[in-house]
Each structure stands twice: as structure tokens, then as C-alpha cells.
Structure 1
Amino acid sequence: MARPVWKGSISFGLVSVPMRAFTAARDHTVHFHQLERSSGARVRNHTVSEESGKEVERDDMVLGYELPNGKYATFERDELDDLRPASTRAVEIRDFVALDDVDPIYYQRTYWLAPDGDAAAEPYALLLRAMEDKGRVGIGTVVMRNKQYLTAVRPLDGALAMSTMRFADEVIDRSSIDDIPEKVGKADPKAVQLAGQIIDALAGAWDPSQYHDTYTEEVKKIITAKSKGKTMTPPPSSDDEGGEVIDLMDALRASIERSTGRSRTGTKERPAKKAAATKRSAKRSTAKKGPAKKAAAKKPAAKKPATKRAAKKATAKKAAAKRPTRKSA
């Protein structure tokens, strides 16, 4: 049975709804322990004093914040509990904003909200339906695990969900990253058109179930094989496109051929289509060569005017030969 990680209330206006929050996501990362190679014994981390080298018990520890001068401001653990805001157990919605206006960079973790008791069922349904009708997200603050978060309460899949968020000063501004260019240069219009064709070819509906953490799946297979005394070789990497792109246009054209040459089921372009394309290309090539041959055949005809001129010269020579020669006195 799932255990609530937070218990409090969501308030909007004068309406307060008792709620419980349950984790809405799980981390499926495979975790390993450190073991001694020779004995297989677990290697554990211990809290050791840097000064004495001896292990320190939890009761002998305090919390310290390092100051600019290298010294520490120390706190007992219960001192921080006293510093928590009075609104720890309540989320007061300050604004209802459009979901599209919230950039995903602000989101952290998401929790399912459930009504806390039968009396909370009616106001829970009221808040859910009203937010669905308006398409809005409630923004407020909540304190969980000794930290205050900005939070978004929103309808999700027929229920209410609460997502902890980062405050504005926790998001690193792009201007502080030197590698990001201040001005993005203009792109070649033809390249933009080709890139648009790739986007259109890969366009589809959002379906998160079709994406898998293949790395974790392969690691688990290897773990299962090892537990049975078998060895399993990881599959070879299929990344054959990690080289440097020399020509962007060539890469775009190749991407289009790859994306349009297969259907959503992953099938490649049909051979019939390729053959038809080859025939059309051959016809165009033959059609271009035909007129060139005809032009080459007509070239000798261009010499006729020169032949006529030569004939006229020959006739003039004959006429000159027939003329009587004058005798000299």
C-alpha cells in the first residue's frame, strides 16, 4: 500500500481541501553496492572526523554552513524545524495560470493528490472540475523535507497532481553559459525547408509508453544472467552516425531518405518504388541525350555554305581561263 509523503491542504479563496500527496514517479535506475573483490563483503561508508580519524555517531553531529571566511555557522537539527514557515501543511494557491505559460524547466517532481477523508471528496471534485473547465494551473508554495518549493496543482488524467517547482533564481540564465552564442546566425532557407520535411516525416502523437530505457533493460538482463551463473555480452552499439558531419545539406537529405523511406512500423522503402524511381530517372536521362544526338547529326549540314562558295570560286577560275590573252605591243 502506498504511503503518503505529505499531508496538508490545498486552499483557493476561502475553500480549503484536505489532501494527501503520493509519489507519482519512480526512479528505475539500477543501483549497485560496493563489495570487496576478494571476500565479496559489503563496503560501507562511515562518517569519520577529519581531525581525529574516528567514526562519529549521529547524535554527535550538527549541521554547519560554510561562511566566506572558511568557518561554519552551526545548527542543531531541530533548529531548522523551527524555521519552517507556518504554511508547511497548507498550499495556498495565489494564481491560476495557463499551463502552456509554465516552461518545463521549472518542474521537479510530481505527486498525486488524494482527498484526505470523505468530507474532502466534494471540494476535491469541485477544484478538479473547475480547473479542467478553465484549463488553468494553480500556483502556490509548499514545504516538504525542510525545503520550500514553488508548486503547481493541476488536473491530470482525471485527478489532481502537485508538481514541485524551482524558483526563478534557481534557474540558471542562458546568458551565464559562455558556449551559447549571443546571436544565432541565419540558416540557409533550403536547409530549413529540408529540416522541416524531416520534422513532418517524424511527426506523431505523444505516447510515452513507446519509449523505453533500453540501457537499464539490458543491464537487468545481464544481472539476471549472472545470477544464474551465465555470462551475457552486451549488444554492440548501433550508433554508426557519431562521426563529424561534413556537409549539412547532405546530412539533411540523407535524414529525409531515412525517415520517409520507412513507415511507422519501421519497414524500409519498397523495392518497387525504388525500381520505378530508377526507371523514371533513366527516361529523363535518355530524353536529355536524344536532342543532343540529333543536333550532332545536323552539324555537317552547316558546311554547305562553305561548299557553295568553293564552287563559285572554281567557276570563276574556269571563266578566267577561257578569256583571250592580250598580246603585248
Structure 2
Amino acid sequence: MPRPIWSGAISFGLVSIPVKLFTATESKTVHFHQLEAGTGERIERKRVAADSGEEVAYDDIVKGYDLGDGRHVIVEPDELDAVDPGQKERIEIEDFVALDDVDPIFFQKSYYIAPADEGAAKSYELLRAAMQDANRVAIARFVMRTKQYLAAIRSASGILLLQTMFFSDEIRDPQGIDEIKLLDDDLEPDDRELATAAQLVDSLTSDWDPEAYDDTYRQQVVELIERKAEGDEMVVDDDRDADSADVIDLMAALEASVERVRGERTGSSRAGAGDPLADLTRNELYERAQAHDIPGRSTMTKDELVAAIERAS
């Protein structure tokens, strides 16, 4: 059962709603341990002084801020306590803003907000419904593990969702990137190029389905680990297309792309008519491909998996 990572209250005006925060996402990254080749012994990391190479005890380590010229300002724990942000058990709403006005670049990490108890449920639902009806998001501050966060609270799928945010001075100015400065008015596309690009966008447009997108690299790594754990010898056969050639004729590339996408989508719709495989999600198709031991399945699209399973059946 998930455990809350923070407990407190949402506060706005004179209203206070006891709530709990739960992590909304989890990392599925495959992690490896570092081992010594030959012996398989785990490699340990130790804290050592850069000059002497001697290991330093944890109690002898202090915090220092680099001034940029080789000097450090040492900051003691009690000095940090003196500027503690406080309010560790309160999410203080400061403003309500239009949801469409918030640029997604500000969002960091997502958390589910749940009422802390049955008594808080009605106030929780009142706030959620009011925000949804007004299409507003609450901008708030709160402290978690001694760090102050800016946060956006919004209604999503019948619950309140909190997303930590970057402060404005944490967003880099794109004009500081030299390559961005390569863009100028002389690059404005002509009407034909723009119309063809719009056709390509339209051809690739579909309804948002998060289950249609998988971490194919992670699937390949897991498959590799499972096969090696079973004693299989792995043969490296990199037959991926080398599609990195420079595009010389932009219009020709756009037009060819439109025709290719239209052909693929028309063909897949014909193949999928009355075919129960076409109704499965990509994850379900991938599991069937695993059962048939279809090579290269991790990098296949949904349509390619359907075709491969049909051939293997």
C-alpha cells in the first residue's frame, strides 16, 4: 500500500484542508551495480579528501559553497537552521490562475493529493470541483524536507494533483544558446512548404493514448538481462536503419513523408479491420510477441507487432 511522503494541510483564506501527498510517478530505469571484473565483488564508493586521498569520516564533513575562485564559504548547520523556511505542514495557496496560462516548462514532479481523513473529504471535493469548473490552477508554496517548493495544484481525473514547479530564475533564457540565434526572419517558410508540413502534421495527428508509447530501450535491456540470466549467448546484430543522412531537398522530404505516413496508416487500418489483435494495446502485443520469441520485438511499432504475430501464428 502506498505511503504518504508528506502530511499537512492546504490553506487558502481561512479554509484549511488536511491532506496527504503521494508520489504519482515511479522510475522504471534499469539500474546496474558496479562490480570488479573477474571476481564479481561489489565496488564501494568512499568519501576521500582530494589532495591527501585519505578517507574522511562523515562527522568531519562540512558544507562549503564554492565562490568560483577556488575559495569556499563554510556554512554551519545551525546557521542554515536560522534561515529555515518554516511552515513545514502547510501548503499555502497564494493565487489562482488560468490553467492555460501556465507554461509546462515550469513543471517538475507530480504528486497525488488525498484528503487526510473522512472529515476533510467534503472540503477537498469542494476545492477540486470549484477549480475544475473555473479551469483554474492554484499556485502555492510549501516546505518538504527543509526545501521550499513552488507548486501548482489542479483538478485531474476527479482528484487534486500537485506539481512542483521551477522558480522563474531557474528557467534558462533560450537566447543564451548560440544555436538558437541561428533563427531569423530569412528562414520563414514559403506557403507551399508550410502547407505540406501542415499535411504531415495532420497525417500524424491522433488522439492522446499514453499506453501507445513504451520505453523500448528499457524493454530491450530487460530482455537482454533475462536471456543472459537463463544462460543464452547473445549475438550482437545491429541492423537498425542508418537514417541520419542530411536532408538536401526539404520539399521532397516533406512530400515523401506525407505519402509514407498515409500509406502506413491506410494499410494498418485495412489490416486491422475485424482483427482482434488490432484491439490489443502495445504492451499486450509485446507479451504475445515474447511468447512467440519474435526477434526485434522491443523496437517494433504496434502495427509491426500485429504483423509479426500474425506471421508467427
TM tier, shorter chain? 0.7 to 0.9
Aligned to 2:100: 100
Mapped pair 1:232 → 2:234:
yes
Residues 93-124 of structure 1: per-residue CA shift (max 9 Å, x gap): 11111111111110000000111122211211
Q: Secondary structure at the match of 2:219?
A: helix
Letter in 2 for 1:256: V
Q: In structure 1, how many angstroms separate the alpha carbons of the residues matched to 2:68 and 2:229?
A: 51
* Pair 1:45–1:266, CA change in 2 (3 A): farther
The code of the aligned residue for 2:75 comes to: F
Question: Deviations 1:134-163 (Å, cap 9, x if unpaired)?
Answer: 111000112223322210001111111110
Distance (whole Å) between structure 2 residues aligned to residue 222 and residue 43 of structure 1: 23
Q: AA paired with 2:173?
A: D
Tell me how far apart the structure 1 counterparts of residues 84 and 127 of structure 2 sit (CA, whole Å): 27
1:192-242 Cα distance to aligned partner (Å, 9 max, x none): 110011111111111111100000000000011111111334663544422
- Fraction of identical pairs, as percent: 45
Q: What is the one-letter code of the residue matched to 1:130? A: A
Q: 1:33 to 1:100 in 2, by over 3 A?
A: same
2:70 is matched with 70
- Write out aligned runs for 1:163-242 (5 A): 163-180=163-180, 181=182, 183-184=184-185, 185-233=187-235, 236=238, 238-242=240-244
Change (3 A) 1:235 1:93: farther
Q: For residues 192 and 176 of structure 2, what CA distance do their matches in structure 1 show?
A: 33
Q: 1:56 to 1:134 in 2, by over 3 A?
A: same
Contact 2:85–2:147 (8 Å) recurs in 1: no
Task: Identify if the C-alpha distance between structure 1 residues 103 and 91 changes in structure 2 by more than 3 Å, giving closer, same or farther.
Answer: same
Secondary structure of the corresponding residue to residue 64 of structure 1: strand
Which has the larger displacement, 94-103 or 238-247?
238-247
- Superposed CA offset, 1:225-277 (max 9, x none): 111111334663544422110100110011011111122774689xxxxxxxx
Determine helix, strand or coil for the equivalent of 1:216: helix
Q: Could you say if the C-alpha distance between residues 59 and 266 of structure 1 is closer, same or farther in structure 2, counting changes exceeding 3 Å?
A: farther
After superposition, the CA RMSD in angstroms is: 2.0
Give the corresponding residue for 2:9: 9
Letter in 1 for 2:253: A
1:280 matched to which residue of 2?
none
Give the number of the structure whose alpha-carbon radius of gyration is greater: 1
SS at match of 2:46: coil
Alignment CA distance shift 1:238-1:56 (3 Å): same
Check whether the contact 1:218–1:234 (CA below 8 A) recurs between aligned residues. Answer: no
Please give the secondary structure, in 1, of the residue aligned with 2:88. helix
> What one-letter code is carried by the residue in structure 1 that aligns with 2:247?
V
Corresponding residue number in structure 2 for 1:279: none
Structure 2, unmatched stretches of 5+, are: 272-313
CA distance in 1, matches of 2:48, 2:242: 48
- Runs of 4+ in structure 1 displaced over 6 angstroms? none
Deviation at 1:64, TM superposition (A): 1.1
* 2:9 is the counterpart of 1:31: no
Quote the residue 2:250 is aligned against: 248
| 1:8 and 1:18 in contact (8 A); partners too | yes
Tell me the TM-score normalized by structure 1. Answer: 0.77
1:48 match: secondary structure: coil
User: 8 Å contact 1:222–1:231 — kept in the other structure?
Assistant: no
Q: CA deviation at 1:169?
A: 0.6
Q: Distance in 2 between matches of 1:72 and 1:90?
A: 34
CA-to-aligned-CA distance 1:36-81 (integer Å, 9 cap, x gap)? 0020101111101224322122122111111244222223345434
* Distance in 1 of aligned mates of 2:94 and 2:202: 40
The structure-2 alpha-carbon separation of the partners of 1:71 and 1:195, relative to structure 1 and needing over 3 Å to count, comes to same
Aligned residues: 269
